[in-house]
């Protein structure tokens, strides 16, 4: 098949190994970085204005961008009024999914624990694992009402034991927060809920506007402007991941069902116009079959999803054929996809071999949509190659591993001698003297080798 989809290719992500025999049946014409510069400028201007104007600036942006002039912080009475009419079946599904997320996060929490250990006679050191005090959770509500994002973030923070959880979501289609999103926030355990979207929501969470509780960590997915706001505020607050458009990759061999593979690629491409969908396969026959199926599956979607998936597949979709599963694994690790499905033989081999992905879905029986909505592991995941060095949102994002130490005077003697000498080798006389003073106090009259005094 001729390349009619542009020139962006695998080498743009990583240099291809000289002995690899891969073939592109479809190449992307754009990358997730294409639209970054404009978003950065818009976000920087908005954050500067919010820093100057505070809550008044946020209200102005809410009115201008979301047509929202109502209360920002929702009262318990307002929340109860909105969620009163949420159908029982919807409540049951949200409750089930939120419990799955909470239980998985709680298991993650239980995997780390406080401890103490004697490193040297008389030297006791340890760690405490404690939650941060305030977390801001964002759930977008633009093209879709992101119900799952509401409980993914809040339930995980709740499982960590966070003291206060502030949740935000955009006004939905001219009204307040979507009732189902609001119910998800409430069911998952949010303490404060605000009707705010976009950059102004992220800034309000970070600065503690309207609540007086600046967030220690701000989490949740969003569009490129939300992602840039989190990037710009990182350092003042912790964030979950440097997020871009949602990504999916499918690894498939000749045992895979092309209809299921194509369905899963389309299912994720509907996230947005800039959402990459990639197929890595050892089977050219399967690859060509999947490519043939994609247009009809996209055309069968409702209008909003059809528009997003069509653009995403046209501009960002890629299909790569490799000769061996080792080549495919290497390609996959270089792309480091947010979501990675494996439809192939010997799933345990792939589990042991693959190293770079946000979340892994092994076998046809599971799919990204299950992870996005209800299976348990978090769906807030790294994109744009960040899975090379980072995992997704987990309970650990809300936990601080703090160290402590104490020691006997006998241990202080040995540690102090080494500290004094190393400090002087480094040229840090002040450090050395804190050890000298203790040795002089605890062992008066003794002579020690403390190293040569610092002359610089």
The dihedral over CA atoms of 313, 314, 317, 321, expressed in degrees to the nearest 10, equals: 120
Prediction pTM value: 0.88
Give dist(CA 138, CA 199) in Å, integer: 11
pLDDT tens, 163-208? 999 999 999 887 899 999 999 999 999 999 999 999 999 999 999 9
Can you tell me the mean pLDDT for 70-96?
Answer: 96
Can you tell me the mean pLDDT for 117-139?
Answer: 97
- Cβ neighbors of 306 (< 8 A, separation 6 or more) are 298, 299, 300
Q: Which of the pair, 334 or 224, is modelled with greater confidence?
A: 334
364 assigned to active site: no
* Spatial contact of 183 and 91, defined as CB atoms under 8 Å apart: yes
* Spatial contact of 339 and 249, defined as CB atoms under 8 Å apart: yes
Looking at residue 7, its pLDDT comes to 31
| The one catalytic residue among 339, 341, 343, 379 | 339
Looking at residue 33, its pLDDT comes to 60
Q: Is 187 helix (H, G, I), strand (E, B) or coil?
A: helix
The mean of the pLDDT values for the chain is 92
Q: Is 351 helix (H, G, I), strand (E, B) or coil?
A: helix
For tokens 């818009």, the residue is 42
Looking at residue 186, its pLDDT comes to 98
338 assigned to active site: yes
10-24, 266-280, 299-313: lowest mean pLDDT where?
Answer: 10-24
Per-residue exposure over 155-190, b if at least 16 CB sit within 10 Å of its own CB, e if not: bbbbbbebebbbbbbbbbeeebbbbbbbbbbbbbbb
Phi-psi region of 174 (alpha: psi -120 to 50; beta: other; left: phi over 0): left
* Spatial contact of 164 and 192, defined as CB atoms under 8 Å apart: yes
Can you tell me the mean pLDDT for 409-428?
Answer: 95
| The one catalytic residue among 228, 330, 338, 341 | 338
pLDDT tens, 304-356? 999 999 999 999 999 999 999 999 999 999 999 999 999 999 999 999 999 99
| pLDDT for 227 beyond 50 | yes
Looking at residue 19, its pLDDT comes to 65
| pLDDT for 12 beyond 60 | no
């Amino acid at each position: 098949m001729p390349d009619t989809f542009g020139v962006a290719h695998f080498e743009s992500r990583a240099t291809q190994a000289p002995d690899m025999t891969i073939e592109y049946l479809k190449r992307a014409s754009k990358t997730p970085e294409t639209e970054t510069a404009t978003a950065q400028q818009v976000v920087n201007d908005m954050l500067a204005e919010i820093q100057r104007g505070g809550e008044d600036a946020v209200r102005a942006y809410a009115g201008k961008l979301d047509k929202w002039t109502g209360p920002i912080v929702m009262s318990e009475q307002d929340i109860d009024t909105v969620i009163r009419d949420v159908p029982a079946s919807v409540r049951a599904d949200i409750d089930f999914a939120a419990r799955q997320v909470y239980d998985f996060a709680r298991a993650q929490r239980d995997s780390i624990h406080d401890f103490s250990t004697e490193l040297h006679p008389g030297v006791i050191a340890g760690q405490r694992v404690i939650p941060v005090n305030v977390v801001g959770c964002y759930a977008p509500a633009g093209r879709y009402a992101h119900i799952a994002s509401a409980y993914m973030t809040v339930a995980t923070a709740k499982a960590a034991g966070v003291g206060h959880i502030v949740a935000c979501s955009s006004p939905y289609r001219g009204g307040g927060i979507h009732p189902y999103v609001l119910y998800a926030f409430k069911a998952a355990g949010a303490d404060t809920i605000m009707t705010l979207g976009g950059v102004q929501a992220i800034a309000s969470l970070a600065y503690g506007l309207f609540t007086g509780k600046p967030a220690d960590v701000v989490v949740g997915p969003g569009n490129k402007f939300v992602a840039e706001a989190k990037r710009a505020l990182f350092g003042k607050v912790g964030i979950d991941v440097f997020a871009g458009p949602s990504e999916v990759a499918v690894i498939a061999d000749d045992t895979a069902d092309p209809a299921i593979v194509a369905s899963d690629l389309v299912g994720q491409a509907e996230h947005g116009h800039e959402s990459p969908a990639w197929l890595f396969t050892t089977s050219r026959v399967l690859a060509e079959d999947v490519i043939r199926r994609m247009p009809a599956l996209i055309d069968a979607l409702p209008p909003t999803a059809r528009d997003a998936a069509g653009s995403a597949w046209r501009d960002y979709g890629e299909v790569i054929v490799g000769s061996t599963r080792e080549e495919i694994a290497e390609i996959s690790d270089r792309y480091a996809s947010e979501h990675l499905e494996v439809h192939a033989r010997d799933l345990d081999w792939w589990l042991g071999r693959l190293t770079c992905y946000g979340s892994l879905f092994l076998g046809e029986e599971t799919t990204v949509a299950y992870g996005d909505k209800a299976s348990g592991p978090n769906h807030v995941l790294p994109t744009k190659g960040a899975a090379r060095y980072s995992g997704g949102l987990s309970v650990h994002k809300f936990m601080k591993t703090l160290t402590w130490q104490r020691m006997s005077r006998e241990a202080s003697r040995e540690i102090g001698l080494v500290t004094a000498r190393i400090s002087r080798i480094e040229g840090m006389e002040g450090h050395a003297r804190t050890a000298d003073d203790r040795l002089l106090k605890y062992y008066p009259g003794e002579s020690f080798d403390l190293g040569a005094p610092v002359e610089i």
